[in-house]
Amino acid sequence: MLELNDVHCVIGKHAVISGVSLQIGEGELVCLLGANGAGKSSLFKTISGLITPTQGTIEFEGRPIHKKNPEKIVKLGVSLCPEGRKLFPRLSIRKNLMMGAYTRYREKSQTAKTLREIYELFPILEERADQEAGTLSGGEQQMLAIGRSLMCKPRLLLLDEPSLGLAPLIVKKIMETIEGINRGGVTVLLSEQNASMALSISSRGYVLENGHIVLEGTARELAGNEEVKKAYIGA
Amino acid sequence: MSFFLNQMVIGIQLGSQYVLVALGLTLIFGILDISHFAHGHMYMIGAYLLYIVMVLGGVNYWLALVICMAALSIAGVVVERAVYRPLRGQPHINSFIAAIGLILVLETLVRGIQPDALRVPKPIDKNFSFLGINMEVQRLIVIVGAIVFIILLQVFIKRTRLGTAIEAMSQDREGAALVGINVNRMSALTFAIATALAAVAAVFMAPLAFVSPEMGSVLVLKAFVIVVIGGLGSMKGAILGGYLLGILEALAIAYISSAYKDVFAFGVLIIILAIWPTGIFGGRD
Ligand SMILES: Nc1ncnc2c1ncn2[C@@H]1O[C@H](COP(=O)(O)OP(=O)(O)OP(=O)(O)O)[C@@H](O)[C@H]1O
Ligand SMILES: [Mg+2]
């Protein structure tokens, strides 16, 4: 479904992604592990078109997307729930969600249906529908960010550290939600520093270090790997 | 009492033009983070275009309003495309210098073609009296017309998909790109709307003043002060600030002296800024 081939990115003068290749099959839930500054967010921004790679190719469902603008990539069915959430803080929760469906303006009734699904997934968003997004708590904002990125009905969802800064209980709920979204048929690529949590819900994973993929394998293999344990699980 | 009321109405009329120009500036600032200092000169171009269409072309005033709005919105798109877009992502000083360049080009060009100030006739050259207020019909056109366009803009921004997209983009540009909003198209649209509003102000005001190449210079400075006072990027702030400056000026003319109106009005604004350093509506809305 998604295939990266020898992707390189340079920001300023720094090579932040150096030759990343990876594949994700339809329906998979794959995690991307890596420490601070490993390049996870940069890789996600590259896939969704915010950064243009200097070399290499990215294909989504067989189509090259590495030269496309973010709005084209969203239309094709790839949605990023970004680090820092990037919500519209002074728009209401409802308007934030409706903006998530910006590309689907021709399908009014379908969009309304998706909105109901999001409200079922996160009832708090419906209760606070008219409240400004900036007034939500961190966990609620993360739910809104995930909700917004689902409003475009993506086939591939990229989640950049959805657990960052959240209490363990909320992290658990978010992880369960992500599993549910994946079971509902959405392919998911999830980046995390919280490796044990991420590996517990994914089937496969990649480890990113300094812009390189240094390790890949099934979730079980990675969870059992001594280096992963030392670096990311703290065992 | 009726003298005071008269001055208030004149203040609101002065404020109307400030609001229309300041709204455009604050929209552009919110979306593109640039200080479009040439906005006043786009206003000036609007007034000259009115002269060409109405006086030379013999077109009806209201049709001329529509023509000027359409032409200036296209001019706004061209300015965004040709002057500001190539500089996106570069230091602010670059777009500032580009704006100064545009000001010089427009002013020199107009002065070269027509060095003398021009006059545009009033569409309805009458006075009217109401509650002891006596004034020209044109002033009423400015006041009511501005309110109509302010409401139209609010409805567009708050109630339509494209308007909300403009608001969303001003709050988080990257977030906007990620939901599929075409940020280039929105920038062009914002410039089109802002410059059309400047055309509205010019068409309303031209019959009350001289049309001259430097007519936009002081206006844009005032509009900038209003935008800062109101809170950068805030529409509410631009509306409130614009009317406030107009009323302060009118009161200064009446009770102090018309020579010192700017000193008084700006003095009050500086005090407001000292109390609220980020403007009355500090955050954008
Ligand atoms: N705009 C930028 N300018 C300069 N350097 C950047 C920029 N964005 C990212 N980098 C650098 O690229 C590298 C990778 O950053 P990135 O944000 O992708 O890491 P990450 O894996 O997401 O880290 P974290 O877990 O802290 O979010 C870092 O060394 C960072 O300093
Ligand atoms: Mg990151």
pLDDT (tens place) for every residue of chain A, 235 residues total: 999 999 999 998 899 999 999 999 999 999 999 989 999 999 999 999 999 999 999 999 999 999 999 999 999 999 999 999 999 999 999 999 999 999 998 888 999 999 999 999 999 999 999 999 999 999 899 999 999 999 999 999 999 999 888 888 888 888 999 999 999 999 999 998 888 889 999 999 999 999 999 999 998 888 888 887 777 766 4
Taking the C-alpha atoms of residue B25 and residue B42, their distance in angstroms, rounded to an integer, is 12
- What is the spatial distance between Cα A171 and Cα A181, in angstroms, rounded to a whole number? 15
Please check whether residue B142 lies inside any domain of the structure.
Answer: yes
Kindly report the protein residue whose alpha carbon is nearest to atom 5 of ligand 1.
A11
Rounded to the nearest angstrom, the distance between the alpha carbon of A39 and the centre of ligand 2 is 7
- Answer whether residue B40 is part of any domain: yes
Q: Copy the structure tokens of residue B284.
A: 């954008």
Nearest CA in chain A to B168: A88
Q: For tokens 């969009």, what's the residue? A: A111
Q: Which of B171, B178, B181 sits opposite A82 (nearest CB)?
A: B178
Which of B73, B132, B285, B178 has the alpha carbon at shortest distance from A69?
B178
Q: Locate tokens 């000026």: which residue?
A: B249
Per the CB < 8 A criterion, the answer to whether A187 and A1 are in contact is yes
CB contact under 8 A, B165 and A102: yes
Domains along the sequence of chain A with CATH: 1-77+157-235 (3.40.50.300), 84-153 (no CATH)
For range B230-248, the mean pLDDT: 90
Contact B161 A148 (CB under 8 A): no
Residue B239: per-residue pLDDT: 95
Of B82-91, B204-213, B269-278, which gets the smallest average pLDDT?
B269-278
Contact A19, A194 (CB under 8 A): no
- Closest Cα of chain A to B177: distance in Å? 6
The answer to the question of residue B127 being in a domain is: yes
Mutation target for A interface from B179, B182, B184, B232: give the one with most A CBs within 10 A: B179
Residue of A179, A186, A185 lying closest to A162 (CA atoms) = A179
Shortest Cα distance, chain B CAs vs residue A71, angstroms: 4
Asked whether residue B282 carries a pLDDT value surpassing 70, the answer given is no
ipTM of the complex: 0.93
Which of the listed residues A8, A16, A207 should we mutate to test ligand 1's pocket, taking the one with most ligand atoms within 8 A of CB? A16
Average pLDDT over residues B147-170: 96
Measured in degrees and rounded to the nearest 5, phi and psi for residue A107 equal: -110, 70
Convert the pLDDT of each residue in B35-62 to its tens digit.
899 999 999 999 999 999 999 999 999 9
Selected residue with higher pLDDT from B129 and B158? B158
Helix (H) / strand (E) element for A29: namely strand A29-33
| pLDDT given at position B284 | 47
Cβ neighbours of A107 in B, within 8 Å: none
Q: How many domains does chain B have?
A: 1
Ligand 1 pocket test: pick from A17, A32, A40 the residue with the most ligand atoms within 8 Å of its Cβ: A40
pLDDT band at residue B1, thresholds of 50, 70 and 90? low
Residue A11 beta carbon below 6 angstroms from any ligand 1 atom: yes
Residue B104 amino acid letter? L
Task: Give one DSSP letter per residue of B194-251, joined into a string.
Answer: HHHHHHHHHHHHGGGS-B-TTHHHHHHHHHHHHHHHH-TT-HHHHHHHHHHHHHHHHH
> Which residue out of A14, A32, A81, A192 has the highest number of ligand 1 atoms within 8 Å of its CB and is therefore the one to mutate?
A14
In a domain, B220, yes or no: no
| Domain containing residue B129 | 13-214
CA of A104 to the centre of ligand 2 (A): 28
pLDDT (0 to 100) of residue A7? 96
Name the β-bridge partners of A15. Answer: A10
Tell me the CA distances in angstroms from A132 to A73, A136, A167, B106, B118, one per residue in order.
Answer: 28, 7, 22, 42, 49
CA-A44 nearest atom, ligand 1:
18
How far is the alpha carbon of B169 from chain A, nearest alpha carbon, in Å?
8
- A218 Cα: distance to centroid of ligand 1 (angstroms): 26
Q: Residue B283 above 60 pLDDT?
A: no
Does residue B281 sit within a domain? no
Distance A40 CA to ligand 1 centre (A): 8
Scanning every residue of chain B, which has its alpha carbon at the shortest distance from the alpha carbon of A93? B168
B165, B167, B178: residue with CB nearest A74: B178
Instruction: Tell me the pLDDT band of B285, cut-offs 50, 70 and 90.
Output: very low
> Domain for residue B242, yes or no?
no
Residue nearest atom 25 of ligand 1, based on CA coordinates: A36
Nearest CA in chain B to A74: B180
Of B161, B171, B283, the CB nearest to A88: B171
The DSSP line for A162-208 is: TTTT--HHHHHHHHHHHHHHHHTT-EEEEEES-HHHHHHH-SEEEEE
**Are B25 and B227 spatial neighbours (Cβ–Cβ below 8 Å)?**
yes
CA of A224 to the centre of ligand 1 (A): 28
Please check whether residue B62 lies inside any domain of the structure. yes
Alpha-helical segments (H) within A34-167: 40-47, 70-76, 93-100, 108-121, 123-127, 138-150
> Residues 97-136, chain A: which have Cβ within 8 Å of B?
98-100, 102-103, 105
Radius of gyration of chain B (CA): 19
pLDDT reading at B269 higher than 90:
no
A70/A79 Cα distance (integer angstroms): 9
Phi and psi angles of residue A10, each rounded to the nearest 5 degrees, phi first: -125, 130
Residue B168 at interface with chain A, using a CB cutoff of 8 Å: yes
Tokens of B274: 């000292």
- The pLDDT score that the predictor gives to residue A234 is 62
The pLDDT of residue B271 is above 90: no
- Higher-confidence residue of B91 and A88: namely A88
Return the residue whose CA atom lies nearest to atom 16 of ligand 1: A39
Give residue A169's pLDDT: 87
Q: Do A88 and B168 touch (CB under 8 A)?
A: yes
Cβ proximity of B267 and B249 under 8 Å = no
CA of A41 to the centre of ligand 1 (A): 7
Strand A156-160 relative to strand A78-81, pairing = parallel
Cβ within 8 Å, pair A99-B182: no
Domain assignment of residue B255, yes or no: no
Please report the atom of ligand 1 found closest to the CA of residue A193.
Answer: 25
The whole-angstrom distance between B279's CA and the closest CA on chain A is 17
pLDDT at residue B199 greater than cutoff 60:
yes
pLDDT of B279 above 80: no
Which pLDDT value is given to residue B76?
97
pLDDT (mean) for B212-235: 89
Q: Name the pLDDT band for B160 (thresholds 50, 70, 90).
A: very high
Query: Which residues on chain A are in Cβ contact (under 8 Å) with B174?
Result: 50, 82, 86
Q: Is the pLDDT of residue B195 over 90?
A: yes
- Other CB atoms within a 10 A radius of the CB of residue B180 amount to 23
